[in-house]
Amino acid sequence: MENIVLDKFKAGQPCMGTFSHLLSAASLRVLGQTGLDYVILDLEHSPIGAEHVTELIPAARQAGLCPLVRVNGMDRGQFLKMLDAGAAGLIVPLVETVEQVQTLVSYAKFAPLGGRGYCPTVDAGWGFGPEYANGMAGYMNTANERTLLIPQCETAGCLEHIEEIVAINGVDGIFIGPFDLSIALGIPGQFDHPDHIAAVERVRKACEAAGKLCIMFCGDADAAAGYFRQGFPNVTVGIDVLTLLSGMKQTVETAKRGL
């Protein structure tokens, strides 16, 4: 189970990805040429649906991008579908409590860690992939180790309990959603506000102390460079649709200087 997000984290190497909203295998092939490590197929905030993800995951892999999926809720059925389709990890928005995260572990991880339901699927060659070298139990262990469960920290509840949440066995890391987190803090969009800076650093440190991955989201390259400097091992920068928009907008504005 290839997972460069996990491998780079374990090797202490920085890792970078972006969100995809474009619902397009062609755009994933383009992103594969940019040096990004992974793409997050976003079921929460884009027209991408579960039925599209089954086609977009192999397209991402072919493009050399590790496919993570942001699910759009805490629904067991959707968790299984995304993992069975070969998602390298699930990012889960709007979690609030320790109990919720324990339930997420029960959906996303096989026994003895959790209670993920089993079926031979494309994620390991329908039972014929190398993950089955040591039988079904071997596959289940491999899937538990190499398929990431990453709750988002973007609510007051999650922030309050972040040290406990990140320490849960079966949680592989935390993804910080700065937009919703800033809303939860009562300072929407004020990423330079001391309360936001303190919250983000608290999550980063909690992850570091637990030996877990911490992914920071931001909108542009300068912010991404800043978060790498701050010590984040992994940064998700931008959304493909916005990168297309800003790139072409800048091109049009520059070209118009000749008119």
Residues acting as catalytic residues: 45
Per partner kind, with CB cut-offs from 5 to 8 A, the member of ligand 3PY, Mg ion, none near residue 84 is none
Query: Is there binding between residue 217 and ligand 3PY (CB under 6 A)?
Result: yes
Q: Which of 7, 145, 180, 208 binds ligand 3PY (CB under 6 A)?
A: 180
Q: Long-range CB contacts (< 8 A, 24+ apart) of 202-211? A: 202/159, 202/162, 203/153, 203/159, 203/162, 203/174, 203/176, 204/176, 204/230, 204/231, 204/232, 206/162, 206/163, 206/166, 206/174, 207/166, 207/173, 207/174, 209/163, 210/163, 210/166, 210/167
Contacts of 137 (CB under 8 A, 6+ apart): none
Query: Is there binding between residue 177 and ligand 3PY (CB under 6 A)?
Result: yes
Binding mask 189-228 toward Mg ion (x if CB under 5 A, else -) reads ----------------------------------------
Per partner kind, with CB cut-offs from 5 to 8 A, the member of Mg ion, ligand 3PY, none near residue 178 is ligand 3PY
Residue 1 or 74 with smaller CB distance to ligand 3PY: 74
Q: Which of 7, 145, 180, 208 binds Mg ion (CB under 5 A)?
A: 180
How many Cβ atoms sit within 10 Å of the Cβ of residue 180? Answer: 17
Q: What residues numbered 78-97 form the site for ligand 3PY, per CB under 6 A? A: 93
Q: Say how many residues touch Mg ion, by CB under 5 A.
A: 3
Q: How far is the CB of 175 from ligand 3PY (least distance, A)?
A: 8
Q: Which of 173, 177, 178, 238 binds Mg ion (CB under 5 A)?
A: 177
Query: Is there binding between residue 154 and ligand 3PY (CB under 6 A)?
Result: yes
Residue 2 or 160 with smaller CB distance to ligand 3PY: 160
d(CA 160, CA 144): 27
Contact between 220 and 210 under an 8 Å Cβ cutoff? The reply is: no
Contact between 198 and 152 under an 8 Å Cβ cutoff? The reply is: no
Q: Which residues bind ligand 3PY (CB under 6 A)?
A: 93, 152, 154, 177-180, 217
